[in-house]
Each structure stands twice: as structure tokens, then as C-alpha cells.
Structure 1
Amino acid sequence: RAVPKEEQHSVDLIEKNYVYGDVKHEVSVYVKVFTNSPFLVCMDLARSQEELIDPKYLWIGPDGKNLEGRMYVNLTETGKLVVMGFKESMSGAYTCTLSHKIIETTTQEEREMFEAYKFMVYAYREADHAYQVFVRFTTRKCELAANGQFFEELKKILNNIISDLTCHIVESSYKCRSVKVPKEGLLRELFVSFQGN
């Protein structure tokens, strides 16, 4: 599906089943139900390449409670979170606060820094069924080049309409047939079929 410009940066934050946070805005993550989420990393990609002194991570779930010790999560000591056996009820905001120290090299003065990362995690299901659709359109003649053009344009329009539904059209075809209609005589019709899944 087409990804809006503001979401395109998120693709850069995904690496080896790791999804990195972003201090500027929330990161959307989609998890298939009954599978484990990718690793949600409590820092951005740039921060992950830096040395961190005394890092601490606090993960809060959609219910507003600390996730440490919960049976359905795996929290690593390096601030990564995996939500296991993801269910629809687990969807929502997962927020992590990273705290670490910065030590001034000349004075050895310590400052504690805090950064918050928000992940919007959504459950999704694979479609367990498909829709087969048959439609008929009247045409002047079966031999018209416009029939093929019409069919290709129809496929484009339908794919565009359903693109946000994470499904697509497969096995599309058409055939021109002569149809005798009572009191109307002989008509030429395009029999169009397609399947969406």
C-alpha cells in the first residue's frame, strides 16, 4: 500500500526485526495476531550507535502500567521489548523512557538525560477468505480495443479503492459474449470476474 510521506521515515527505523523509536513522533508497528512483535528498541537508530552510561529503561504498556515482570513480554537489559503471542487486546501505546548519564570529561560532572519513545502497536489478522465477484458490462462489439482498455482501467480503479484495506485483486479476467435478451435482441456483454483477498 502507499505510505504517506510522514510514515516513510519509519521504514528506515526497521532493521533485522528491530523497530527503533523516534523522539520526534510515535512509530506505528503492526503485529499479526498470535505471533511475537518485532523487537521494539527504546532508542533511535543514531542513539543505538553511541556509548550510553548507566542506561535505564522503563516500558509502560497500553494500560498505563510498568511492563517489567509481565508474563507476555520479554524485556532485555539493553532496552528491547518483545510482546509475545500478540492479541487484539494488547494493541495500543507502548512507551519507553530511556535515562542515561552524561559525564563532562573535564569536570567529571554528571547529568542525567531522559528521552521518551512511543510505539503505537496494532494487531492485524490475515484474511481467511476471499471474495469472488462477477459483473457484466454492455459493449457495442466484442472486437473493440476499448474493451481491453476498459478492463485494465477497471482493475486499476478497484485496486486503488481497496489499497487501504490491505487486500488486492487476483485472478481477474474478462470475456466478451453474445447474449440474447428477450424483447431486446442480441447484446454484446463483457463478463468480468475478479477475486479479492
Structure 2
Amino acid sequence: MQNCVLAWAIINFVQFQHCWSFNSFSCIAVNIYVKVYTNSPFLVCMDLALSQKEVIDPNYLWIGPNGKNLKGQSYVNLTETGKLMVRGFQESMSGSYTCTLSYKTINTDIQEEREKFKTYKFMVYAYREPDYTYQISVRFTTKECRLAANGQFFEELKKILNDLISDLTCHVIEPSYKCHVIKIPKHGLLDELFVTFQVNPFAPGWEAVCQQISYDCEDVTNRRVQEARDLIEEFFHKQTYVLKHEFRNVPAIHYIDHSFEVTRIDSCRPGFGKNDDTHNDCASCCVVCDPGTYSPNNEVRCRICTSIRIKHYGAKSC
């Protein structure tokens, strides 16, 4: 999410606050979240206190997931001052990134040199934006709940809405309606249709739209479904104006003003899920599933795999 990118733009400050060094090579890990197919922020192999001092003969050893020495790897940018950037981050690159800084201290009084070591650890996770779907509910007056015209009206409404958003490769899914008798204070009984449906960005042909871009397309699908939601909201808001200004006799079935309600429903791609407890710094993100967990479909949370031991990040099956 944008929040995560902004949060980690100040990575140096966060690192200095939470990651210390010990001669025993231990360190409190800093969590970093990198959107898939983008570059990570620079990870700094130094703490705030040390950065304010003269450092003699510094040497930086970066070790990535699975114990790999990152020096010379084509997918990293490793500067001479020990800063590390991981390019084109993917879920398989998630895991522990540790830097050991070795340097010397010189006691000029006794002409003594000592070598010191400090270790800094980062847990780096791939994340995606969630896929958006919008749950919408509206209400209509009707003459009577048992009218066959109610069902005919509902079918026609679905066609109108789908035509309205088809150019955005979005469509209406899970449409339904129920008719209820409503007692309104200081009025008699009214029959009303309660209509609900979802606006989904994965109408037939959405894959072709995504193939036109070089990166994963949740940003594109989310933008399209937001536009579709706005079009539908505008459509219902116009109904009030049309009823007041273009009809002499109000139809028996018509939209009830201010009944439009919308809720966003998030889902995650396979291999990703949300976890507010573990990843509260990126709570709205779909974060790569940890080893031992998996997500086979578009659920919101990763499942625990009990049958086998999953050792990699982003598992889609158990």
C-alpha cells in the first residue's frame, strides 16, 4: 500500500530506533514491506550512533534468505557504503536479510587495533495491493411484493448495470433481491425491494487488459472497479432527478432516494494474505504467506498447513 511505501521511506530512522548491534551477532529485526515487482528501499548497514562517528576500514557482509552471500548477485544493488537494494522484488525473495559490519578501532595511546562487529537484521516481505470488489445495496418502492413485475424489473436492472460498466471489463456478480413490507413512522405500510449486488473487476477479457502492461495489474483492476463503482453511484443518484423532473406519474417501481450503500470487500491473490497481528505495519496489505502457511485462492488470510512442512514464502498449496 501507499502507506507502506511512505512508512519505509524513513527506513533509516526506523532502523536506528529498533536495530542495535551486539558482539554476539544478534539483532532485533526490522520489518520491511516491498510491493511485488518494485525495488526495495535501501537497507542501511549501520545504526544512528555509529553513523555519527568515524568508521575505520568498514567491511559489509550481506547475507540473504537461504544463507546466500548477496555480493555480486545480479538482482541487488550493493553500494560501497554498505547500502542494499533488492531489484524487482518477488515473493520468493522474501525472508531474512542480515548485514554484518566489521570495522576497526585504534587506540593511539598504546598503538592497539581492535576489530569490532555489528549485525543488523531485516525481515523483508513482498506484498500486493488487495483486489477490490464493491458490495452495493439499493432500495426501490413497489406496488406489491407478489407482483411478477418485480422479477422482470430486477432482470432489466442487471442488464442496465452490466452495460454501464462493460467498457471497464467489470461486471455485476451475486445479484439478488428480496421484497419486504415496511412500516414507516406516521405512515402506512409500504412494499420495498431490497437489491444487493457486487461490482467485480474480473469480467471476461480482463486478462487481455493486464497483458498490455509489464507489471502485475492489481493497480489497474482496482482503478477500473473504482470507476465502475462511481458510474453506478452516479446512475442511482440521477434516478432521483429523473423522477422529479421527467415523470408526470411516478412509476410503481422506483428508486428510493439516499438508499445507496457501498462497502469495499478485499481479497488477496493466491500465496498472499492479510494478518493484522503479524504485519500490523502493513495491515491493509496482502503480504506474502509465511513458511508453514499457504493460500490457494482469493481468500483474505493464509491457512496453516499441517500435513507437510512448507519452507518457502508465498505457497499456493499445502
TM-score, normalised to structure 2, is: 0.40
Q: Quote how far apart the aligned CAs of 1:134 are.
A: 3.0
1:195 aligned onto 2:267: no
1:22 aligned onto 2:7: no
The 1-side partners of 2:185 and 2:67 are apart by 64
Question: Whose strand proportion is higher, 1 or 2?
Answer: 1
Q: Quote how far apart the aligned CAs of 1:89 are.
A: 0.4
What is the letter of the counterpart of residue 41 of structure 1?
V
| Mapping of residues 3-152 of structure 1, within 5 Å | 14-15=11-12, 22-23=19-20, 24-127=27-130, 129-135=131-137, 141=184
Q: Quote how far apart the aligned CAs of 1:196 are.
A: 4.5
The 2-side partners of 1:133 and 1:85 are apart by 34
Higher relative contact order structure (alpha carbons within 8 Å, sequence separation ≥ 6): 1
What is the letter of the counterpart of residue 133 of structure 1?
Q
The answer (yes or no) to whether the contact 1:59–1:94 under 8 Å persists in 2 is yes
Q: Quote how far apart the aligned CAs of 1:104 are.
A: 1.0
What is the number of residues matched between the two proteins?
Answer: 153
Question: Whose helix proportion is higher, 1 or 2?
Answer: 2
C-alpha RMSD of the superposition: 3.9
The 1-side partners of 2:50 and 2:104 are apart by 13
Q: Quote how far apart the aligned CAs of 1:191 are.
A: 5.5
Please list the CA deviations of residues 88-133 of structure 1 after superposition, one character each: whole Å capped at 9, or x if unmatched. 1000000000000011131120111101110000011123x32111
- SS in structure 1 of the partner of residue 67 of structure 2: coil
- SS in structure 1 of the partner of residue 74 of structure 2: coil
Which deviates the most, 41-50 or 68-77?
Answer: 41-50
| Mapping of residues 169-184 of structure 1, within 5 Å | none
CA 1:104–1:124 in structure 2 vs 1: closer, same or farther (change >3 Å)?
same
- SS in structure 1 of the partner of residue 73 of structure 2: coil
CA 1:134–1:102 in structure 2 vs 1: closer, same or farther (change >3 Å)?
same
Any stretches of 5+ residues in structure 1 without a counterpart?
A: 2-9, 144-169, 176-189
CA 1:141–1:11 in structure 2 vs 1: closer, same or farther (change >3 Å)?
farther
The answer (yes or no) to whether the contact 1:22–1:43 under 8 Å persists in 2 is no
CA 1:87–1:104 in structure 2 vs 1: closer, same or farther (change >3 Å)?
same
The 2-side partners of 1:71 and 1:142 are apart by 71
Which deviates the most, 18-27 or 75-84?
Answer: 18-27
The answer (yes or no) to whether the contact 2:101–2:118 under 8 Å persists in 1 is yes
CA 1:123–1:95 in structure 2 vs 1: closer, same or farther (change >3 Å)?
same
Q: Which has the larger radius of gyration?
A: 2
The 1-side partners of 2:51 and 2:74 are apart by 27
Cross-structure match for 1:167 = none
- SS in structure 1 of the partner of residue 50 of structure 2: helix
The 1-side partners of 2:30 and 2:93 are apart by 16
Cross-structure match for 2:284 = none
Residue identity (%): 54
CA 1:97–1:142 in structure 2 vs 1: closer, same or farther (change >3 Å)?
farther
The 2-side partners of 1:75 and 1:35 are apart by 16
- SS in structure 2 of the partner of residue 46 of structure 1: helix
The answer (yes or no) to whether the contact 2:8–2:32 under 8 Å persists in 1 is no
